[in-house]
Amino acid sequence: MRALRWVIGAAAIAALGTTLWFATRPPPLTVQGEVSADRVDISPRVSGRVAKLGADTGDRVAHGTVLVELESPQLVAALSAAQAALGVARADLDRVNSTRAETITARRADLASADADVTLYQDNYGRQAQLIRSGNTPQARLDEAARNLEAAIRKRESAEAALHLAVTGASPEERALAAAQVRQAEAALRQRSVDVEELVVRAPMDGQITTRVAELGENFSVGAPLFSMVDIAHPWFTFNLREDLLTGLTVGDSFRITVPALGPKEIPVRVTMINVQGQYATWRATRATGDFDLRTFEVRAVPAEPVEGLRPGMSAIWVRQGR
């Protein structure tokens, strides 16, 4: 009988202790977060008028899908001008690097004529020199023959130089300049080609169109938004916690959350980032002494597996036990 009383007393003490533990245990922390995803505003790199629309709000598009086609007569004309400028530069390079065969033939003929003149005046000078020794000709005739011979020799040197120039073509500096002008024209053409290609605006990623600003016939300048889209295939959850509530939480931890829009089913997630927010997100102390300000941290988590129906902007509830 005495032993029974001991057992009953021990059970009563244990029950009282359990009741006190549950009564003094802090309640679970309920944190509300939000579903987020990458959002992209799509803008043109060149100005143009909307000629064709390839997507609308709500459409799911793949990377590279044509969203809008712009038209710009100015860019097309600039492309044609760049193509013509490249043709001129290449023609000039060909001209510099080559000489017509007729020109070389003419220069050879000029050199042969100059050689014949030198031979003629050399013979004439020899005859005048013999006559001056015999006294049968005045000194002026000899001087005239010497001047004619000297002029014929210089003319031959000029003809030789002209033939060498015709055979070798332009100087290395002229060739380098012409080649540089070709490269410059090619670069300008590539730039114009890229500008024309940019008239076709494509989706930068897989996602869903959330906003369409573009309208047929409307002009858009560089950087003006045409569409907005989100990457709904790779969402994440964002929770904001005071730093004193981060105890025991590290990157890589796993826990479960619920999304009210999807029902009571729990979704397993994994922490990928814990990052402090700006000074604007500081919890200010309520007392002048004995307390301190607390910073707010962003906790980012990703689903452990794909979740059907998860959309950016949905609320997420995290009940954190044992904080």
Amino acid identity for residue 105 in this structure = T
Q: What is the model's pLDDT at position 276?
A: 85
CATH number, residue 66: 2.40.50.100
Q: Is 252 among the domain residues?
A: yes
Q: How far apart are CA 37 and CA 236, in angstroms?
A: 6
Distance CA 115, CA 159 (A): 9
The answer to the question of residue 154 being in a domain is yes
Number of domains in the chain: 3
How large is the angle between the packed helices 73-96 and 172-197, nearest 10 degrees?
160
Residues 179, 111: one domain? yes
The domain boundary, picked from 176, 211, 230, lies at 230
Report the pLDDT value the prediction gives residue 225, as an integer from 0 to 100: 94
Looking at residue 288, which CATH number applies to its domain? 2.40.30.170
User: Residue 160 domain-assigned?
Assistant: yes
Position 63 in a domain? yes
Other C-beta atoms within 10 Å of 251: how many? 12
The answer on 249 and 219 residing in a single domain is no
Boundary (domain end) residue, out of 167, 194, 221: 194
Whether 91 and 54 map to the same domain: the answer is no
Residues 212 and 238 in one domain: no
Q: Give the residue from 230, 250, 285 where a domain finishes.
A: 230
Residues 246, 157, single domain; the answer is: no
The answer to whether residue 15 is domain-embedded is no
Whether 297 is in a domain gets the answer yes
62 shares its domain with 85: no
Q: What is the spatial distance between Cα 221 and Cα 240, in angstroms, rounded to a whole number?
A: 38
Whether residue 11 lies inside any domain: the answer is no
User: How, if at all, do strands 66-71 and 48-53 pair?
Assistant: antiparallel
- Specify whether 86 is located in the same domain as 143: yes
| Domain co-membership, 102 together with 175 | yes
Judge if 172 and 211 occupy the same domain.
Answer: no
The amino acid that residue 286 corresponds to is T
Residues 177 and 249 placed together within one structural domain of the fold: no
Token look-up 């114009």 returns 192
Q: Give 258's strand partners.
A: 266, 317
Could you list the pLDDT tens digit for every one of the 323 residues in the chain?
Answer: 556 566 565 665 665 555 544 444 556 778 899 999 999 999 999 999 999 999 999 999 999 999 999 999 999 999 999 999 999 999 988 888 776 677 777 877 887 888 888 888 787 877 777 777 777 777 777 778 788 878 888 888 888 787 777 677 667 788 889 899 999 999 999 999 999 999 999 999 999 999 999 999 999 999 999 999 999 889 999 999 888 888 888 899 999 999 999 988 999 999 999 998 766 555 555 455 455 677 888 999 999 998 888 989 899 999 886 55
Phi, psi of 140, rounded to the nearest 5 degrees: -65, -35
Paired strand residues for 40: 229
In a domain, 220, yes or no: yes
Same domain? For 101 and 180 the reply is yes
Is the same domain home to 32 and 48? no
Q: What is the pTM of this model?
A: 0.64
Q: Containing domain of residue 248, as a range?
A: 27-37+234-320
